[in-house]
Homo-oligomer: A and B are copies of this chain.
Amino acid sequence: MKTAAVIVIGNEILSGKVTESNAGYLSKELRDLGVDLRRIEIVPDEVDKIAHAVSIASDEFDYVFTSGGVGPTHDDVTLRGIAEALEVGIERNGEFEETMRKFYGGSINEYILRMADLPAGSSLLWEDDLPIPVICARNVYVFPGEPGLLKKKFQAIRSRFRSEPYYLHKIFTTLDEGDIAKILEEAAEAHPAVQIGSYPVYSRKVDYRVQVTIESRDENEAREVTDFLKGRIPAETILRVE
């Protein structure tokens, strides 16, 4: 089983100027791939804060995905933070510099070239003929914050991360959480390896009160718990099972 963290770098998110969507996108993609996303963290554009978050996550999880802070401006300090986290220097990467020169042509300048100053030992992932490759420093995969670019780059390399799949079932009920808490607890105690979630919704836009989710890497056990819950939650309160 592979685990991951997503670290988003950006004052614009913390100050509410930009609505974050990359972590949400990656959470869905990673789930589809069977990778267990264990932490999302959003930190400011500050080298020490980035370094601290990346250092801990890089040790703790199989993969770390960063979003943001990789352009040519003064507030783009993600690569320096990652270098500090991995305790390596920053050095100009010749292959990446060449890419920047080709991509930017006549409008190249020293600020744009600084984007080729990478953590020492970084590798460049070129799948799908990406015009600009994904930078990978040890187990840290570096993505831009611009959502369109991040998606394009992640799609290009996503097959690298395929792991064992999850099996998910959902039960939608008109009961309240308090009414089913006992039943869910029994199931959770009998099947500690199955993730049982309970999500109340207080909205007239939906027809249910609580969505129960049953999720496991073991297809049979997920089915078994779902059948148990279907048997214990009064049938007339179950709207549907997915």
A178-201, CB < 8 A from B: 178-182, 184-185, 188-189, 195-201
- Nearest B residue (CB) for A109: B178
Distance of A213 Cα from B18 Cα, bound (Å): 11
What is the size, in residues, of chain A's interface with B at 8 Å between Cβ atoms?
66
- The contact of A181 among B19, B39, B112, B188, by CB within 8 Å, is B112
Taken together, the copies of this chain in the complex come to 2
Nearest-CB distance from A110 to chain B (Å)?
8
Nearest-CB distance from A150 to chain B (Å)?
11
A181-B72 in contact (CB<8A):
yes
A20-B12 in contact (CB<8A):
no
- The contact of A178 among B32, B107, B149, by CB within 8 Å, is B107
**19 interchain pairs (CB within 8 A)?**
A12-B213, A13-B40, A14-B37, A15-B166, A15-B215, A16-B31, A17-B199, A41-B42, A71-B198, A74-B184, A75-B184, A75-B197, A109-B179, A109-B181, A112-B178, A112-B181, A146-B200, A148-B203, A149-B202
